[in-house]
Amino acid sequence: MKILKLMERGTKILGSDYAILGGAMTWISEANLVSAMSNAGIFGVLASGAMEPDPLKNEIAATQEKTKRNFGVNVILMHPMLNDLIDVCGEKKVSHLILAGGIPDKTVIDKIHSYGMQAIAFAPALSIAKRLFKQGIDALILEGSEAGGHVGPLSTMVLTQDILLNMREYPIFVAGGILRGEVVASMLRLGAVGCQLGTVFACCKESTAHENFKKALLKASGRNAVLPPQLDEKFTVAPVRALKNVGTEEFVAKQKEVLAKFERGEVALDNGRLSLEHFWAGSLRRAVREGDVERGSLMSGQIVEIIKEERSLKEIVDALLSEAEEFLTRTAD
């Protein structure tokens, strides 16, 4: 198949059949879903979110019991126990770490390499992408602001032209707002080594997310997957894309509360931001695990606009491959 040939650079990096990453989603990307993804030939990524080292160790072991294929672990760079989390992954012989929530410094990349693991990070701008490759990062993900969860300010289209087209020879995956195989094939033709998808997998049959959560996403319109307003320039918080509900209003109220504390000197900037991160993680849990779709966080990308049915991983992967193949055949010179 033409698409498999185009995917070769990416599959070599990931050790999967297809150069598609199932992006980590806190509370959703757990052992069952991640192992099912890797068994379906894509590259599953465990979300570690706010997990401490021991629960992460157990989750990795549970995933390894269900698949012999490679999978990655997503760690959050601002986690206070980052070094211990990396040690756990290294000891459990995880193949790849995906570093989120910031820009890793060289010591983190070197530590990951010392265990023989590969390090993948997110790049929000060309200068940062160049620096990360100089520091030895193995691959980057460009994630546009259409994506679900924490996002940067720029769209997939802009990042593609800013970074990917200037660094075609480097291993770069593209994420944010991708669903169809034609788009995956186009990104590969532009020089990407693969794509990362998230929201569609949150809603798949193998996802253990609560039925209410899945149903809310499947019936949502893309225009309701919004970013909460930033209340103060001095107190920037990472924007998080989620469906509008009571929970998003509560987040604004929480932001006001933390901002007031910050202005009164009762909380430092970093701790204030961390408390907002904990707020998100808690409300995402409420939606994903308990099914509270009113007050819980319904993180999802704008792509919910066109995700309308709960499909199995096999159906999603088969569709991606056949759409990509048909497109490549139709547009071959």
- Work out whether 146 is an interface residue with ligand FMN (CB under 6 A): yes
Measured from the CB of residue 52, what is the shortest distance to ligand FMN in angstroms? Answer: 15
Considering only CA atoms, which of 29, 35, 34 is closest in space to residue 49? Answer: 29
CB nearer to ligand FMN: give 243 or 267. Answer: 243
Our CB check for ligand FMN shows the closer of 159 and 202 to be: 202
With contact defined as beta carbons under 8 Å apart, do 61 and 35 qualify? no
Note whether 49 binds ligand FMN by CB under 6 A.
yes
HSE-CB for 199 with a 13 A CA cutoff = 34
Q: Does 320 bind ligand FMN (CB under 6 A)?
A: no
The distance in angstroms from the start CA to the end CA of the chain is 16
Residue among 34, 37, 42, 47 that touches ligand FMN (CB under 6 A): 47
What tokens appear for 268 in the block? 């430092």
Residue found by looking up tokens 């929480």 in the block: 254
Q: Smallest Cα–Cα separation from 252: which of 236, 275, 228?
A: 228
| CB contact at 8 A, 11 and 321 | no
Give the H/E segment covering residue 158: helix 156-162
Site map (CB under 6 A) of ligand FMN, residues 180-219, x = contact: ----------------xxxx--x-----------------
Q: How far is the CB of 49 from ligand FMN (least distance, A)?
A: 5
Determine, following the binding rule CB under 6 A, whether residue 175 of this chain makes contact with ligand FMN. yes
CA diameter of the chain: 65
Report how far residue 186's alpha carbon sits from residue 132's, in angstroms, rounded to the nearest whole number.
25
Closest distance to ligand FMN from the beta carbon of 123 (Å): 13
Q: Which of 184, 300, 325, 328 binds ligand FMN (CB under 6 A)?
A: 300
- Interaction between residue 299 and ligand FMN (CB under 6 A): yes
Contact call for residue 303 and ligand FMN (CB under 6 A): yes
What residue type is 177 in one-letter code?
A: G
Question: With CB under 6 A, what is the number of residues at the site for ligand FMN?
Answer: 27
Q: What phi and psi, each to the nearest 5 degrees, are found at residue 262?
A: -60, -45
What is the binding site for ligand FMN (CB under 6 A)? Answer: 23-26, 28, 47, 49, 74, 100, 143, 146-149, 175-178, 196-199, 202, 299-301, 303
